[in-house]
Amino acid sequence: MPETIKSIGFALGMCLVCGLLLTAAATGLQPMQEKNRLSDRQKNVLYTVDLASRDKAYTPEQIRDIYEKNIDEIRVSAAGEIAEPAEEGAGQDGQILTIYLYTKNAEIENYIIPIESQGLWGKIYGYMALENDGSTVAGFTVYEHSETPGLGGEIEKQWFQENFEGKKIVDRSGGFVAVQIAKGDVDKRVPEEKEPHYVDGISGATLTGRYLSEGLEKTLSRYEPVSLCFRKQRLSCRLQEPTDSGDK
């Protein structure tokens, strides 16, 4: 009996020590994990506007340097207006949106919006860049998902994401239509007049495609006031703070 008690006590002691070590390791590694997550998100923003190559390895410091030199993060209201610091959490329907601007030679080349969509097994997170015409997709990337490898998981593959480049979020009359994922090849499944708004689907992942299509439409419609600003004013649309009326 004493030997049994000793064995149980030893096992419990080992469990306690291992638990403490794991907790300490997780706590100690948390800052590094956060740094890596931030670097991964920044890298995916850069992917959408071809400021980073998917075939090249970067250090977090290199990613941060490229990002800070080229990308500006701003907050806008749901009406597409710059949100003042005092308006944090305000805006139309109490909603504040984040956009990322890629500026080159003092001109906005692209604006990038964060994508959040329901997937088959969990959330899908990514970014979509649009040209400064407010209607053409420049790039798309997914940086986090829970879809099935080899099926819905193909949404993270370069071949799938590159299909979005050049697609239109408005129809010929200028009406908002978003971008959808076809149930198969676009040229076989979609009428010719709708092809500019669809990308090829993933074989065996119809539900992932449907969920992502719904998520893209929901997100793009939320950012439609910003896109409309670019469509109406094109390069003159700066989304900058209004100047003081008293300035000369």
The residue segments making up the domain with residue 67 are 60-236
Task: Look at residue 36 and tell me if it is in a domain.
Answer: no
Task: Look at residue 217 and tell me if it is in a domain.
Answer: yes
Task: Look at residue 38 and tell me if it is in a domain.
Answer: no
Task: Look at residue 77 and tell me if it is in a domain.
Answer: yes
Q: What is the DSSP string of 81-94?
A: -BPPGGGTT-SGGG
Classify residue 79 by its DSSP letter.
T
Q: What is the mean pLDDT of residues 59-87?
A: 85
How confident is residue 142, by pLDDT bands cut at 50, 70 and 90? very high
What span, in angstroms and rounded, lies between the C-alpha atoms of 72 and 198? 29
CA nearest 173: which of 148, 197, 149, 147? Answer: 197
Domain count across the chain: 1
How confident is residue 28, by pLDDT bands cut at 50, 70 and 90? low
List of residues 6+ apart from 208 with CB closer than 8 A:
119, 120, 147, 148, 151, 152, 155, 202
Q: Is the pLDDT of residue 243 over 50?
A: no
Please report the pLDDT score of residue 19 as a whole number: 61
Please report the pLDDT score of residue 36 as a whole number: 81
Which tops the pLDDT comparison, 97 or 20?
97
Task: Look at residue 9 and tell me if it is in a domain.
Answer: no
What is the Rg, in whole angstroms, of the alpha carbon atoms belonging to the chain?
23
Please report the pLDDT score of residue 120 as a whole number: 94
Q: Is the pLDDT of residue 8 over 90?
A: no
Task: Look at residue 95 and tell me if it is in a domain.
Answer: yes
List pLDDT tens digits, range 35-69. 888 899 999 999 999 999 999 999 999 999 999 99
Residue 98: what residue type?
T
Residue 20: what residue type?
L
List pLDDT tens digits, range 198-225. 999 999 999 999 999 999 999 999 999 9
Task: Look at residue 107 and tell me if it is in a domain.
Answer: yes
List of residues 6+ apart from 205 with CB closer than 8 A:
120, 147, 148, 151, 152, 154, 155
Task: Look at residue 190 and tell me if it is in a domain.
Answer: yes
